[in-house]
A = this chain, B = another copy of it.
Amino acid sequence: MQNKKLKSPAMSTLGDIIRRARQAKGWSQRDLSARTHMPQAQISRIENADVDPQVSTLIELARALELELQLIPKSALTAVEATVRSTKARSDERAFQSLMAELMRAAEQAHAMTPDREDIASLLSSLRDLQPLTPALRAGALMGDLMSVQTLLHGFLTYPPAERPRHTQPIRDAAQRLKDLRKMLAHAPAGERPAYSLDDED
């Protein structure tokens, strides 16, 4: 790696994969550094392909990120990639269903406690509208918004009732955001690839 600055901007390097995996876990470089007893500076250099790391270093990073270094025969590569995609889609779907179920429970509980608040009622109805959306329509979006709704509802339910009015505006905003999102997703270009089906490769 003689050239530190001439990196291909389009290609997806190993560093990019590490970075994406780290971000998918919501970790900072320092978080990952703590879990690997490896300096944050080194992680930065690796993600930016400023260094050509040793295999043991890469393996240590991968292990912390629940990845495994594998040498795949080129002939099996497309099948393997399809397998990884399909596995990921399945686990994403499980995560969505689980989070959505929890949110529905929380929203219904909040609604029962404060039936007169229309921000809560609106949020609940937004969630009800979102639930039947197929994975193909969601296509990876939406998860982040749901997670912020989660912290929102959690705050509403756990803080003392006197604090509740403080949540009104954020909840109103979140409900509107979800309504907009649903509209956008439902009217997305129709013929898109499913991006996830119960098929199997080969």
Residues of B within 8 Å of A18, CB to CB, are 71
- Interface of A, secondary structure class, is helix
In chain B, what residue has the closest Cβ to A200?
Answer: B200
**Residue from A21, A74, A76, A91 with most neighbouring chain B CB atoms (10 Å):** A76
Does any Cβ of B come within 8 Å of A152's Cβ?
no
Does any Cβ of B come within 8 Å of A110's Cβ?
no
Query: Contact between A56 and B87 (Cβ–Cβ < 8 Å)?
Result: no
In chain B, what residue has the closest Cβ to A66?
Answer: B74
Query: Contact between A83 and B52 (Cβ–Cβ < 8 Å)?
Result: no
CA of A76 to CA of B17, assembled, Å: 16
Does any Cβ of B come within 8 Å of A147's Cβ?
no
CA of A127 to CA of B68, assembled, Å: 43
Residues of B within 8 Å of A54, CB to CB, are 52-55
In chain B, what residue has the closest Cβ to A58?
Answer: B55
Our pick among B52, B66, B73, B200 for the contact of A84 (Cβ within 8 Å) is: B73
Our pick among B55, B66, B67 for the contact of A14 (Cβ within 8 Å) is: B55
In chain B, what residue has the closest Cβ to A63?
Answer: B74
Residues of B within 8 Å of A192, CB to CB, are none
Query: Contact between A68 and B58 (Cβ–Cβ < 8 Å)?
Result: no
Within 8 A of B (CB), among A61-114: 62, 66-77, 79-80, 83-84, 86-88, 91
Supply 6 A–B pairs (Cβ within 8 Å), ascending by A: A67-B73, A68-B74, A68-B77, A70-B71, A73-B84, A83-B83
A residues whose Cβ falls under 8 Å from a Cβ of B: 1, 14, 17-18, 21, 52-56, 58, 62, 66-77, 79-80, 83-84, 86-88, 91, 200-202
